[in-house]
Amino acid sequence: MEKHLLEIKNLHVQYNTDEAVVHAVNGLSLTLDKGEALGIVGETGAGKSTTALSILKLLPDKVGEITEGSIVYDGIDIIKANNHTMREIRGAKITMIFQDPMSSLNPIMTIGEQIHEVLELHFPKMSAAEKDQKVDEILGLVGIQKTRKNEYPHQFSGGMKQRIGIAMALVAEPELLLADEPTTALDVTIQAQILQLMQELQKKYNTAMILITHDLGVVAEFCEKVAVVYAGEVIEQGTVEEVFTREKNHPYTTGLFNSIPDLTSDVERLIPIPGFMSDPTNLPEGCKFAERCPHCTERCRKEAPKLYEDGGHSIRCFLYETKGGQ
Amino acid sequence: MAAPLIETRNLKKYFQTPRGLLHAVDDVNLTINEGQTLGIVGESGCGKSTLGRTIMRLVEATDGEVLYEGEDILKYDKKQMKKMHTSMQMIFQDPFTSLNPRLSIGEIIAEPMKVVKNVKGKEAMKQRVHELMDMCGLPQRYYNTYPHELDGGRRQRVGLARALALNPKFIVCDEPVSALDVSIQAQIINLLMDLQDQHGLAYMFITHDLCVVRHISDFIAVMYLGQVVEYAARNELFAHQYHPYTVALLSAIPTPDLSRRNRERHLLQGEVGNPINPEPGCRFASRCKYATEACKAPQQLREITPGHFVRCHMAKS
Amino acid sequence: MSKKIKKKTNLSNKSQLGMIVFRFSKNKLAMFGLAVIVILALLCVAAPLYIDYESVYQQSMADRFILPCAEHPLGTDQFGRDLFARIIYGGRISLLAGLVVVAMALVLGIVLGGIAGYYGGRIDNVIMRICDVFMAVPRMLLSMAVVAALGQGTFKMLIALSIAAFPGYARTVRASIMTLRNQEYVEAAKCCGTSSARIIFKHVVPNGLGPVIVSATLGLGGTILAIASLGFLGIGVASPTPEWGTILSENRANIRYYPYLGLVPGMFIAISVMCLNFIGDGLRDALDPRMKN
């Protein structure tokens, strides 16, 4: 079998807070190959960001804890890797773009210096002139005039800051880019620009990308594969075509589709998903979506369904039960 | 014809800033009829929230009129305004800052009625609060709980119950679903539409989300840097867009509809301009690919086809 | 991989106050501080029940400089007065005076800071400049100047300290009110025509009190220290009235030969101030969980 760039198996992450244990990720498995764009869709609290942070081992100290499972990146077991290895991976091989571009920029360094620093950390042998050239080049690629490289982050607008964030994330030409809601804080017209830019650069450098978002539309337009997560599990995954043609979907995914008003067709009334996501401190035994599911049976409440696969498209629901399952 | 419920006439709100006058709302003329929804769409900084707040008199208008059933409420004094507030209310974007964390749900919903003193006696008050909670789909057991114990969707229901407490005819909804997850968003939208049917409410629905606005509105106004650039009935606007900004806005929205995947995108260059001391011409010109010399002249909102207004000299029916 | 003990606490049944108490109770240092302060306060309040008030003042030249023993748990001073009795009765004054000072400063600070923060503009400017004037003079110097102007006396000293302390509270209140006055729930209240007074006292001030309570707790320790310092300098509580700083001052000539005379009152001051700081820190974490870590 071909080796994957990133392979997450049965990941469990919990947050130990003063009041309770929050089960953020519960047995999440994913694979990603070189140059692929995977969209992770889910609502608040589904465990999307936690998964991304786990890949970089950036979970909050003491509070966040990986209790089970494995994350293998290019043959390296991330969970067992020491701090030194992780520092080499972060920023050079795996980089991240955050929702709030401000959080990844240092307010007291010019943007040129910050991009320079990334290069210094990961290419110590590169000459200063080469680095300068590289900084200019990447700024040009993200659409910022290189004359502005001596300016400070606060002198840029939100969309511009996100472009700088992208420049910093891509300057070391990483193999994997984690984008955690990169456009949620931006206006639609700016969002379109940024996503377009990310897609171009991703193709140019053949970078694999995980795009985390709550917006089904963003995934449909900018990704090749989709994973829908609910309560810390992947409940459906496949190619964009398989999931978005809506022929076969997990009841939750169907619910999401029905909840969004459409731009082109008229619906008298939206069909929302009833109820709320189950409390991550106290998860149900069977299917985690059972309480809100229109197809719920006795069995769903008692037994957790597996991911049932049909071609590349797998769904975690008894409705699509096949022999085996993962 | 009877006067519309709400009408703004040349409404202006300028803010004094160290760098000059910020034109937050510039010459806005809109009407909302009883039981109808006017959607206001635009990106951040286009003045849509300020417009809502100016109508509610949370900020004082610089110039212009806000007519409620034909009467200019901007001229009302405090006492008249207090009475006015029983007819118009507002719900807010952030379900986490719009409820006072020190008050219980019951107290929050009762607060407007305590201020206006229209409900006499504790029992009557409690009954009325329960009635409002029922109306907004809040289980009675939340009466004594505090806002932090509820999730965003339920908090938004509390905000709605509070707004309905005084039986208003008109509600300004300032991005009421933007902070919510899609599945919860749909619940709140449905609730808003049901309440509109039952009580004949008129909404001014402010949002940046075109999909939502299309679903809920009867009329839509697109705003850009303080001005209305296009205004029409919902179906008309989605069938024909005349202003280049509206066109770009529509094409920028990612949709889960695969058939739209390979559509022609009208990507906008650059970012939203500066609303401080703007030039007299078209404010969108710097980003517009059709911009010409003529765009430097002030643009008027013109009626292109009956009921369809556009602020662009190039628009033709 | 470590498995932590799973605790199941039902969060949805707790009120906000309950949550604060719960978080505070998990902070061991703060609970320790609270316990010590409560014991100390009880000892002081209940003093008349187990110590004869006479023994605070009764001099006996025969009993000078007795080292701690069964009859005098903390020994006696140069006039043969029982040090334990003086410390406990002194605590009544030190702790009470600290509370009174903080309470007066708080009331002044909340009213002025609240008005300045809510209305802003010129009113804010005038109030804050007045505060700046008081803040520009060092607290001890200000207290000394007030005592020098009004004459010596416990009550005058308390007033002096309150005047020195209120600008800090006013600033804290103002800052938290300014962030709160534009909250959407305040706008919602305005939307139903709520009066300014009701908005300030029902919607704004109760939500801005958290940081003030914290700084008051922390300030209480500082105030006790200031009272003791003034006492030590001889311009606070006048000897022979017992007060921790005054006791320290009375005995300073003999500390060299009888160190316990200085150590004991010094320890009481240090421990109570430290414990109040623990409580203050604990309260801050409990009121604002994000501040933690």
Query: Is B122 within a domain?
Result: yes
Per the confidence metrics, is the pTM higher than 0.80?
A: yes
Q: Which DSSP string corresponds to A57-121? A: T-PPTTTEEEEEEEEEETTEETTT--HHHHHHHBTTTEEEE-SSGGGGS-TTS-HHHHHHHHHHH
Are the CB atoms for B138 and B129 separated by under 8 Å?
A: no
Which partners does chain C have (≥3 C-beta pairs < 8 Å)? Answer: A, B
Are the CB atoms for A43 and A213 separated by under 8 Å?
A: no
Strands, DSSP E only, in chain C? Answer: none
Q: For residue B4, which of B74, B75, B70, B65 has the smallest C-alpha distance?
A: B70
How many helices (DSSP H) and strands (DSSP E) are in chain B?
9, 12
Q: For chain C (length 293 residues), average pLDDT per consecutive 10?
A: 35 62 87 94 90 83 84 85 90 90 92 88 92 87 83 83 90 89 88 86 83 86 87 80 87 87 90 92 76 41
Per-residue pLDDT, C203: 87
Mean pLDDT score, B37-41:
95
* Residue % of chain A over a pLDDT of 70: 98
Query: Is B276 within a domain?
Result: no
Query: Is B240 within a domain?
Result: yes
Query: Is B182 within a domain?
Result: yes
Q: Which residues numbered 12-71 in A keep a CB inside 8 Å of some CB on B?
A: 43-44
Name the residue with tokens 């008129």.
B202
Query: Is B115 within a domain?
Result: yes
CA dist., res. A23 & res. C95, Å (int): 47
Tell me the HSE value of C179 on the side-chain side, using a 13 A CA sphere.
10
* Residue % of chain B over a pLDDT of 90: 51
* Residue % of chain A over a pLDDT of 90: 29
- Residue B49 is part of a domain; what is its CATH number? 3.40.50.300
Claim to verify: residue B180 and residue B137 sit in the same structural domain: no
- For B217, the token pair is 């509105």
Claim to verify: residue B140 and residue B176 sit in the same structural domain: no
Claim to verify: residue B163 and residue B262 sit in the same structural domain: no
Q: Taken in order A314, A317, A320, A325, is the CA torsion positive or negative?
A: positive
**Other beta carbons less than 10 A from residue B215's beta carbon:** 25
Per-residue pLDDT, A104: 76
**Other beta carbons less than 10 A from residue C238's beta carbon:** 14
Per-residue pLDDT, B279: 82
Question: Minimal Cα–Cα distance from C15 to chain B, Å?
Answer: 7
Are the CB atoms for C281 and C31 separated by under 8 Å?
A: no
Are the CB atoms for A205 and A142 separated by under 8 Å?
A: no
How many helices (DSSP H) and strands (DSSP E) are in chain C?
13, 0
Claim to verify: residue B185 and residue B72 sit in the same structural domain: yes
Give pLDDT tens digits for C74-114: 888 888 888 889 999 999 888 999 999 999 999 999 889 98
User: For A310-314, B188-192, C278-282, which range has the lowest pLDDT when averaged over its residues?
Assistant: A310-314
Give pLDDT tens digits for A177-234: 999 988 887 888 888 888 888 888 888 889 999 999 988 889 988 899 999 999 999 9
Per-residue pLDDT, C208: 82
Instruction: Please list every residue in chain B whose beta carbon sits closer than 8 Å to the beta carbon of residue A188.
Output: 43, 208, 210, 249, 252-253
Claim to verify: residue B215 and residue B145 sit in the same structural domain: no
Write out the residues of chain B at the interface with chain A, using a CB-CB cutoff of 8 A: 43-44, 151-153, 181-187, 189-190, 193, 208, 210-212, 214-216, 238, 248-258, 260-261, 265, 267-268, 271-272
Are the CB atoms for B301 and B232 separated by under 8 Å?
A: no
Tell me: pLDDT of A324 over 70: no
Q: Which domain holds residue B32?
A: 6-87+170-266
CA dist., res. A168 & res. A135, Å (int): 9
- For B180, the token pair is 């919510």
Claim to verify: residue B163 and residue B174 sit in the same structural domain: no
> Cis omega (within 30 of 0) on the bond before B18?
no
Q: Who among C1, C8, C26 is closest to A67 (CB)?
A: C1
Give pLDDT tens digits for A260-296: 887 777 777 888 888 878 888 888 888 999 988 998 8
Claim to verify: residue B64 and residue B107 sit in the same structural domain: no
B–C interface: beta-carbon pairs under 8 A: 65
Claim to verify: residue B174 and residue B129 sit in the same structural domain: no
Question: What is the total count of domains within chain B?
Answer: 2
Per-residue pLDDT, C11: 43
- For C6, the token pair is 């799973």
Name the residue with tokens 């959607």.
B39
Q: For residue C86, which of C46, C49, C53 has the smallest C-alpha distance?
A: C53
Claim to verify: residue B47 and residue B152 sit in the same structural domain: no
CA dist., res. A246 & res. A242, Å (int): 7
- For B133, the token pair is 């909670």
Query: Is B258 within a domain?
Result: yes
Claim to verify: residue B153 and residue B178 sit in the same structural domain: no
- Residue A145: phi and psi, rounded to 5, are -60, 135
Query: Is B300 within a domain?
Result: no
Claim to verify: residue B109 and residue B250 sit in the same structural domain: no
Confidence of residue A253 (pLDDT cuts 50, 70, 90): very high
Query: Is B157 within a domain?
Result: yes
Could you tell me if residue B63 is left (phi over 0), alpha (psi between -120 and 50 degrees) or otherwise beta?
beta
Q: Which of B255, B266, B284, B287 to mutate to test the interface with A (most CBs of A within 10 A)?
A: B255
Q: Who among C12, C194, C206 is closest to B115 (CB)?
A: C194
Question: Minimal Cα–Cα distance from A18 to chain C, Å?
Answer: 8
Claim to verify: residue B80 and residue B184 sit in the same structural domain: yes
Q: For residue A52, which of A227, A277, A254, A253 has the smallest C-alpha distance?
A: A227
Return the higher-pLDDT residue of B170 and C289: B170
| Burial group, residue A129, by CB count within 10 angstroms (0-12, 13-18, 19+) | exposed
Mean pLDDT score, B16-38:
91
Instruction: Please list every residue in chain B whose beta carbon sits closer than 8 Å to the beta carbon of residue C184.
Output: 92-94, 97-98
Per-residue pLDDT, C5: 33
Question: Minimal Cα–Cα distance from A161 to chain B, Å?
Answer: 12
Question: Minimal Cα–Cα distance from B37 to chain A, Å?
Answer: 15
Q: Which of B225, B243, B266 is the last residue of a domain?
A: B266
Q: Which of B167, B182, B199 is the last residue of a domain?
A: B167
Q: What is the dihedral of CA B282, B283, B287, B290, to 10 degrees?
A: -10
> If DSSP codes are grouped into helix, strand and coil, which group holds residue C60?
coil
- Distance linking the first and last C-alpha atoms of chain C: 23
Mean pLDDT score, B78-90:
89
Q: Which of B266, B281, B296 is the last residue of a domain?
A: B266
Per-residue pLDDT, A41: 93
The mean predicted confidence, pLDDT, of chain B is 89
Q: Taken in order A218, A220, A226, A231, is the CA torsion positive or negative?
A: positive
